[in-house]
Structure 1
Amino acid sequence: MEQSKAKIKMFLSRFFKSRELQDEDDIFALGFVNSLFAMQLVMFLEKEFNIVMEPGDLDIDHFRTIKAIVNFVDSKADVNVS
């Protein structure tokens, strides 16, 4: 989980240079997200964590915060292992 969080924070830091995001910061509410960034985030998560996004996975609540993203990625990884 900590390794996942570190990778996600590193990815996000490339886009949010003027702010150090905290685990609970809502990146949508802060106005940092546009459709291009959302697609880049999804593609990064699929490639970096070897997961496949299903249509039902594209719920905004899975991507609002670093904590939510980590929990989502970990849950997808658990499904892939099963």
Structure 2
Amino acid sequence: MNQAKTKIKNFISRFITIHDLQEDEDIFNLGFVNSMFAMQLVLFLEQEFQINIENEDLDFDNFRTINAMASFLDRKLSKTFNYH
């Protein structure tokens, strides 16, 4: 999961250059996320981690922090591997 956190932080850091984002900081409450960036973030997660993010996954709580995204990925990937 640490590798996932690193990839997520590196991606976000390309867009948020004025703040050293910590793993537990809420990117929505900090005002760093607009609708376009939210879509880019979802697309990045899908492509980088080879997952499909469904409508029911689009809960802010899954994307608020780096830790939340890593936990979400862990849940999605474990579901994917359990089906095979």
Q: TM-score, normalised by structure 1?
A: 0.98
Q: Which residue of 1 aligns with 2:4?
A: 4
Q: Which residue of 2 aligns with 1:25?
A: 25
Q: Which residue of 1 aligns with 2:73?
A: 73
Q: Aligned AA for 1:11?
A: F
Unpaired segments ≥5 residues, structure 1: none
Unpaired segments ≥5 residues, structure 2: none
Question: How many pairs are equivalent?
Answer: 82
Deviations along 1:27-80, one digit per CA (max 9) or x if unpaired, are 000001000000000000000000001110000000000100010011101111
Rounded Cα–Cα distance in structure 2 between residues aligned with 1:12 and 1:74: 19
- Give 4+ residue runs of structure 1 displaced > 6 Å after superposition: none
Rounded Cα–Cα distance in structure 2 between residues aligned with 1:67 and 1:37: 18
Rounded Cα–Cα distance in structure 2 between residues aligned with 1:79 and 1:15: 30
Q: Cα RMSD (Å) of the superposition?
A: 0.5
Q: Which residue of 2 aligns with 1:51?
A: 51
